[in-house]
Amino acid sequence: MLNFSILKTQSELLQWRQEQRSEVGFVPTMGGLHHGHCQLIKTAQSSNSHKKSQVLVSVFVNPLQFGPTEDFKSYPRNLQNDIEIARKAGANAIWAPSTNQIFKGGKDSIFRIQVPEKLQSRLCGAKRIGHFDGVATVIIHLLKNVQPNFLVLGEKDWQQYVIIRELIQALGLPIQVRGVATIRAQDGLPYSSRNQYLSQSERVQSLALPRELLKAANNFKQGKILDLKKTRSSLEQEGLNVEYLEVVNPHNLQPAKPSENYSLLAASVRCGTTRLIDHTFLMTRKPIIAIDGPAGAGKSTVTRAFAERLGLLYLDTGAMYRAVAWLIEQTGVDPKDQNKISKVLNDDEQDLIINLASNEYFKSIDKKILKAQILDIVFKEKKNDTYKVIGIYAKRARGLMVNYIIRNRITDPKALKNFSDEGYQYDDMLSSDSSWVFTRN
């Protein structure tokens, strides 16, 4: 049977933490555990090392994130039930500290973190003033005590997920953040501790929220104009009081621009006295999913199956390099003879070669022998007031550029200067005739 620890004091937590020899995955909760939390625990069990992670679940109802008229006193509390659910889901320990254990001297005697206005001026933050400041403050106190290797968060509250992720990155904490997509009951309603407030009739009524969001997303996917007024009206006709219904950029949480390919449709409603939130993603095109790994790891096999399962177009960027290999094989050229390879490519009668390969691949070609002009495409990121090539971002950007060329059927190289996917812009000052540089701040 799984060894399960129940921790209530900081000293008990410290002793448990010191005993661990594997990575520790942390699942912070306010209790009221349900199936959604169980999925977070299962995700936390996986580790980057060969050993299974140790999973710690915390139960702490944070007073800092409740407003004066909110349900702090009535929020579901049943520690014994939470312990049983966490244990059965595979957690190794549960930590249930008191308020004084987390906030020495009480909640009114501590320094508080202030979340940037742009991250909390929309969605839940617009109505729940100070809520996310309280969330940010408590998560830092929890992390300071637990010192996990990674943190597992649900994406149901997308705004909270983004804020915590940005906070950890801004403070430079060596903690990986893993998100788990919204877990839903069979009827489509996202799991939430507050669902138990709903009466049987309200439960049926609340299903209009995920249903209308999904309907709006499907209409948008089919090229129809997003009609928020119609969606709001449909929700209200079902007896739901709409607090907000917004379309935002999923990364900065600001109103989405019409030109953006990817956005978040989020809503908050009240069903009776119960506040419910939900969201869905809007995409003007199908997503581009990249996979990387060592040679021979089965990347192509996995990606092809993944694309087929999701109904996506499968594009193997390695095919660009294999196309050259096929041409060489057809002409009978020795693949070790760089001069002849260059001649074969030169005889292909191309006046211009646009180089979107990494240096690792393109260095095998003797550029001096090629008669065609070579145009190198370079992608740089702004770091510490200077622009630098960062491999992982450059690799993705090259794939985006290939997609841009295919999508727009580009035949004139000058049109590449209009490339602006994911914030990149052509930089005339850094570019030359043989090297076009695209930068991103």
Known catalytic residues? 37
Task: Say how far apart CA 356 and CA 401 lie, in whole Å.
Answer: 8
* Mode of pairing for the β-strands spanning 24-29 and 150-154: parallel
Give residue for tokens 């449709």: 265
With 0-12 / 13-18 / 19 or more C-beta atoms within 10 angstroms meaning exposed / middle / buried, residue 21 is exposed
Q: Which two tokens stand for residue 147?
A: 């010192």
Q: Where are the alpha helices (DSSP H) in 391-433?
A: 391-407
Nearest-5° Cα angle at 112, 111 to 114: 140
Burial 176-213 (b: 16+ CB within 10 A, else e): ebebbebbebeeebbbbbbbebbeeebbebbebbbbbb
With 0-12 / 13-18 / 19 or more C-beta atoms within 10 angstroms meaning exposed / middle / buried, residue 123 is buried
The one-character DSSP state at 90 is T
Q: Which two tokens stand for residue 441?
A: 């701040």
Helix pair angle (10-19, 131-146), 10° resolution: 50
Task: Say how far apart CA 315 and CA 208 lie, in whole Å.
Answer: 38
Count the neighbouring beta carbons within 10 Å of the beta carbon of residue 94. 26
Task: Say how far apart CA 173 and CA 282 lie, in whole Å.
Answer: 31
